[in-house]
Amino acid sequence: MWHAVADDYMKPENVRMHLNSLMQGMRNVTFMLQKQKSTLPGFEEWYTEFQVAAKSNPLMRWSVNSRNRIVKESDLELLSEAKVRWIGDWVRKQERNFAFPPRMSSKAILATIFSDPGNPQMGVVTISRRWVDKALPGREILSATREVFIILSALIAAAHNAASSEECGLGAREPACVTPALTAEPLACMDINPGWLQEHLDLEAGRGIEEVAYFIEQAPESHRKSQKWYGSAVNVQGNPIEVAPQIMEQAGKALTRDKKHVPLIWFFRDDVVVDSMVPIFFDQNGKYLTMHRVADRVESLRANGVIFLNEAWYTTDEKLDKDGRIIPPRDRRRDRREALHVLVATESGKYASLLTPFTRTVFGKIILGESNIDTAIDLDTDGQFNVLRPVIDRWGKA
């Protein structure tokens, strides 16, 4: 039911119909448990604990009230919003919410927003479509209903735990993400920031930026080939800061073998990798946009740690331009140097930076330098973490 809402998100009548079914379906979970309580071990204990927590949770109260409204009164009163995000650089950014008619085109929305000549003329603008229930202002419906689903999933898991059963008897379902496995965490498929609900505009180039994502499942044969080519692989699980040196060691092997290394990001939740991606950006505005989309993914996954590995330019000193701004290493062609760089950030406020310089011989051979690690990071003065600033700022809003 949740996926039906997401799939028809841009169709107002359909999204209302699917949302009504979803709200009633979620409420029926507790009704069904209450009817079966005499057959459920320890019901009074674990269900009472759930009830106490639910009564103090605004989302659960909204869920109950919404079901009552749908059944006894009318549909939910949905409002169409457009969230507009402007990114000037790593530090300069703004976000605003606007109310627009559901069928208003993005082109018309942009024309309305940027009719004021005082609006920014550089950077990247992202428009995100949002449905919000009037009774729950400020919360987008996919995000709100996903949280209710997670709470109900935890309730069902508690029931199975009381019955000493690790899985339910659910058979194969469509979509395939519906399985007998029980979790109190968001499913990877429940993306609350999907790319197809967003449109991006490069203000300087005066053109749109198309977001393309490819999903690749790791096949056993690919894993065997990788191990044969690079040697033993790193098991990227555990505390991100403790794992980072192992990642750097493996990255050095890959760079020596391939003479280049793609950027890689791992998303951690409670010291377990829940997703990974290879971000590709073709220019600086694309990089700004991509890292904000990484922050969206962090939010969708409830990730509380990230590791970012990439090849980077670095310098041993700072130089300023005529306006007193620091010249980034990428623009200092005469004295910039190459390095593998691993950045680690956690929601708890712990950070680490690992740098391994390298040089290339005239025949292209990679010579790795000595690695160094820095965990005494001051985000206010340390510009190397700007690339993860969108993620860190998103955690600050949580």
Please determine, for residue 100, whether its predicted confidence score (pLDDT) is greater than 80.
Answer: no
Spatial CB neighbours of 29, under 8 Å, sequence gap ≥ 6: 152, 155, 156
Place 304 in a pLDDT band, splitting at 50, 70 and 90.
very high
Cα-Cα end-to-end distance for the chain: 26
Mean pLDDT, residues 272-283 taken together: 91
Task: Please tell me which residue, 341 or 175, carries the higher pLDDT value.
Answer: 341
Please determine, for residue 266, whether its predicted confidence score (pLDDT) is greater than 90.
Answer: yes
Cα(340)–Cα(312) distance, integer angstroms? 6
Please determine, for residue 398, whether its predicted confidence score (pLDDT) is greater than 70.
Answer: no
pLDDT digits (tens, 9 = 90+) for 369-378: 999 999 988 8
Please determine, for residue 24, whether its predicted confidence score (pLDDT) is greater than 70.
Answer: yes
> How confident is the model at residue 30, as a pLDDT?
93
Place 344 in a pLDDT band, splitting at 50, 70 and 90.
very high
Please determine, for residue 155, whether its predicted confidence score (pLDDT) is greater than 60.
Answer: yes
Mean pLDDT, residues 34-54 taken together: 93
Long-range contacts of 206-213 (CB under 8 A, 24+ apart): 209/124, 209/285, 209/286, 209/289, 211/289, 211/293
Q: With H, G, I as helix, E, B as strand and everything else as coil, classify residue 256.
A: helix
Please determine, for residue 31, whether its predicted confidence score (pLDDT) is greater than 90.
Answer: yes
Place 73 in a pLDDT band, splitting at 50, 70 and 90.
low
Q: Which residue has the tokens 């530090």?
A: 91
> How confident is the model at residue 103, as a pLDDT?
66
Mean pLDDT, residues 380-390 taken together: 88
Place 138 in a pLDDT band, splitting at 50, 70 and 90.
confident
> How confident is the model at residue 18, as a pLDDT?
93
- Global confidence as pTM: 0.85
Q: Which of 220-229, 299-308, 353-362 has the lowest mean pLDDT?
A: 220-229
Q: Are strands 264-269 and 305-314 parallel, antiparallel or unpaired?
A: antiparallel
Place 196 in a pLDDT band, splitting at 50, 70 and 90.
confident
Residue 164 burial by CB count (10 A; 0-12/13-18/19+): exposed, middle or buried?
exposed
Range ranked top by mean pLDDT from 85-94, 167-176, 313-322, 336-345: 336-345
Please determine, for residue 216, whether its predicted confidence score (pLDDT) is greater than 90.
Answer: no
Please determine, for residue 6, whether its predicted confidence score (pLDDT) is greater than 60.
Answer: yes
Mean pLDDT, residues 314-343 taken together: 90
**Arithmetic mean of pLDDT over the chain:** 88
Q: Give the residue from 297, 235, 308, 299 showing the smallest Cα distance to 272.
A: 235
> How confident is the model at residue 108, as a pLDDT?
79
Cα(193)–Cα(196) distance, integer angstroms? 9
Gyration radius of the chain over CA positions? 24
